[in-house]
Amino acid sequence: MTHFDGHEAIWVFGYGSLIWKAGFPYLERRPALVHDMSRRFWQGSHDHRGTPQAPGRVVTLIDEPGAQCLGMAYRIAPQTLAPLDLREKNGYLRRVVTLHFVDTDGSPAGSREQTAEGLVYIAAADNPAYLGDASLTRIAAQIAEAHGPSGPNSDYLLHLDQALRDLGGPDEHVTLLARELRERMPDPG
């Protein structure tokens, strides 16, 4: 929690809704990768994309040697962490990671800074909202039915799928779930 105390700016890595919906002020925004981690719809959402009675599913990161996760890095002022901590309160904790900046085609960032230390919010398996692995069919069914204060869970999945395509790096787990959802909900929005 105090790793970046005294810094004038901090990098934060977004790999879910933060890719397309920052909702906070930032100084700079750049596509980036984190290594040895994969994005998975294994975290329950009781407060944004579902309810306590019918939780939705949102993404977290799991450790996976050799994997890469594409997302968006934001350079923020330290006071921006307070609203982010509130937004990510449902089981997410901060973790320090190395960000590898890329161009939108996925290639290294050229002559600009190539890496930086930053924070990422991860929901580990020991938090009460963690749902864990399930079949794509079961995850898609839960996403299709869930709705919370931030809207339908299906919107979250479809926006994430599109945002990753726009970045030039579709994620197989997200793509397969989106396909499964579209088959289940012919007009998901």
Catalytic sites, residue numbers: 88
User: Closest by alpha carbon to 73, among 124, 121, 39, 145?
Assistant: 121
What whole-number distance in Å separates Cα of residue 143 and Cα of residue 102? Answer: 30
Residue 159, SS3?
Answer: helix
Give the C-alpha distances (Å, rounded to integers) separating 21 from 37, 131, 159, 188: 22, 24, 10, 19
* CA of residue 153 relative to chain centroid, distance: 14
